[in-house]
Amino acid sequence: MPEMSFSPPDYTGHPLLDVGLATLTAFAGKKHPTLLTEEDLHNAGRYIRENYIVDPLKSFLNVAFPNSGFTNPAFEKQPEKRHRYAEIVSGAFAAPAGEERDPLTGLPATMLVLKPDGNLPPGRTYRQHVPLLTGEDVINFHPYGEAGIPLSGISLLAFQMLPMGCAKVSGKLLAVHSNDPDLLLSFARTFLKANLQGVVTARAGGEKKLPDTSPHRARTVLIEHLLEAEKERTRQEKENGRLAPTLTGYYFTNSGQGAELDIYPLPLEVGVFLREVMHNDLLKPDWEALTARGWQLTRKEGETPRYNRLYEDLFTLPEGAPRFIRLYFLRKPSHQRTDKQDPTLTYDTRREVDLISWQLTQLFLRKVMLMEDSRVQSIRELGDALAQYILDRNDRSVFNGFWMARNYGELRAVLIRASAAEVRAGRKPLINLDQFLAIFEQSEGIPNSDWRLGRDLVLIRLLEQLYQKGWLQAHAEELPEAAPEEENL
């Protein structure tokens, strides 16, 4: 029987194993799993043997490893079996390996029987060893009807460390995976630090439960920590041309009462946008002002909000871009009635016009919606032309008509009337046919039925210009109130 030679693996692409490897790496204070040493693995194994068999981690691990040797209620009266199980799964990397191969790393699978009473096939792992696998007697989807998956000792150790590199959120685990090893490690390191401190705090207070890593919802936690990680990246890293990373949250429980998995992929375009914002000294304050108004409204002073609506809505992009623009960049209130604590219910364009930023919107159009520069320029030019027209003539009717247009015909009539007035005065019309088509009727050459998106984008530029020149402030009481944002548009 061959002895296993130590060979630290690279990341594999399997999200849960990679998060486990990143957690091992963070626990060792290293930068990459290929730098791990046998001593690093022994140290992680020692932590497992000393802490996984007692509270608060013993009770916490039910969410990841139900009916394992860590959590099996039958072992309460047989502590030696609990100790033995911890020794087996935490030390398998140093045990003899067999002929079977770990399908995730290609390393030889351990020959250890991963159960204290020895009634399992050697090296086979099941639901109690790896979250979201099937149980011992379930042969579905396994080759030759042989239940379980053979794993190397290092893979097994990484899966045991996985929960410590996840955020504990409302009784479930949030694992965050990225194709960027630095970002993957950053999330694992952040959550590991919080969980290690949570263990210390729980024991000091005599608590049997591990505290939540964050009081916020999973998607809000993901965006919070992504923005923090981006802040740590240097401008040099950005200028070196590193591509924006993929980022996916896996929010799961392996509980015996029912395994569940929700997957939150953050679109690559959104990652590009956020990276640009966080490294732009002019736009970053505008963005942070919007996010500050995105937090859940609380019912009483001192209550912690559970979500940031803007963060949560990033996961609706790019398909939900028109609604996102209307809510957050134009500040039109939502009309949804199911969540009374939704902050978007209180948005008010007139009152929050100082939050409107064309530069931020322009970046969003280019990075998230991939809008052509020529169309962006047409939108900007019409906004500027309308602003100058209104300033020169003090024409509130054109402003109100454009702002409150209930249908495409009304919008078109406002622009025709204003353009005709300019022509009569010997000046060029506010907008030509090509610009009109680019803004309101087609997008990158494709017919576009959502004229409201073009109107909203022009309004953002128009409002910003009128605010900067003081016209909005002078006429604030005379301007109509914005209608709530229509969720189905």
In this predicted model, what pLDDT tens digit does every residue of 223-245 receive, in sequence order? 999 999 888 876 545 545 566 78
Banded model confidence at residue 326, pLDDT cuts 50, 70, 90? very high
Highest mean pLDDT (candidates 16-30, 71-85, 253-267):
16-30
Provide the percentage of residues in the chain whose pLDDT is more than 90: 71
pLDDT value at position 131? 95
Determine, yes or no, domain membership for 275: no
Task: Say if CB 460 and CB 361 are below 8 A apart.
Answer: yes
185-189, 418-422, 475-479 — which is least confidently predicted? 475-479
DSSP state of 104: T
In a domain, 174, yes or no: no
Choosing from 126, 142, 164, the residue where a domain stops is: 164
Residue 222 lies in a domain: no
Give the highest mean pLDDT range of 115-119, 308-312, 389-393, 437-441.
308-312
Average pLDDT, stretch 414-432?
Answer: 90
Report yes or no on 355 lying in a domain. no
pTM, two decimals, is: 0.91
The pLDDT assigned to 4 comes to 45
d(CA 207, CA 323): 45
The encoded tokens of residue 362 equal 């322009």
Asked if 71 contacts 65 with a C-beta cutoff of 8 angstroms, the reply is: yes
Write down the pLDDT at residue 118.
77
Q: For residues 338 and 360, what is the distance between their CA atoms, to the nearest angstrom?
A: 30
Tens digit of each residue's pLDDT (9 = 90 or more) over 352-361:
999 999 999 9
The pLDDT value recorded for residue 137 is 75
pLDDT at 236 (0 to 100): 47
Number of domains, the chain: 2
Q: Name the one residue in this structure whose structure tokens are 């009634």.
A: 119
Residues in the chain: 489
Reduced to 3 states (helix: H, G, I; strand: E, B; else coil), residue 264 is: strand
Per-residue pLDDT, averaged over 467-471, amounts to 94
- Pick from 137, 164, 191: which residue ends a domain? 164
Please report, for residues 19, 266, 276, 315, 329, the alpha-carbon distance to residue 178 in angstroms, rounded to integers and kept in the order given: 9, 10, 18, 16, 28
The answer to whether residue 129 is domain-embedded is yes
What is the Cα–Cα distance from 313 to 304, expressed in whole angstroms?
20
Q: How far is residue 278 from each of residues 219, 246, 287, measured CA to CA in Å?
A: 19, 17, 9
* 363 inside domain: no
Q: Decide: 186 and 194 in contact? Cβ < 8 Å.
A: no
DSSP-assigned states of every residue in 388-432: HHHHHHT-HHHHHHHHH--SHHHHHHHHHHHHHHHHHTTS--S--
Domain containing residue 376? 372-478
- Whether 47 maps to a domain, the answer reads yes
The answer on pLDDT for 48 being more than 70 is yes
- The CA radius of gyration of the chain, in Å to the nearest whole number, is 28
Does residue 208 belong to any structural domain of this protein?
A: no
Q: How confident is the model at residue 160 (pLDDT cuts 50, 70, 90)?
A: very high
Q: 27 or 238: which carries more pLDDT confidence?
A: 27
Residue 363 contacts by C-beta under 8 Å, 6 or more apart in sequence? 273, 276, 277, 280, 283
Q: In this predicted model, what pLDDT tens digit does every residue of 167-218 receive, in sequence order? A: 999 999 999 999 999 999 999 999 999 999 999 999 999 999 999 999 999 9
On the CB side of 293, CA atoms within 13 Å amount to: 21
CA distance linking residue 420 with residue 220, whole number of Å: 49
Q: Where is pLDDT greater, at 250 or 147?
A: 250
Q: What mean pLDDT do residues 377-382 have?
A: 96
13 Rama class: left (phi>0) / alpha (psi -120 to 50) / beta: left
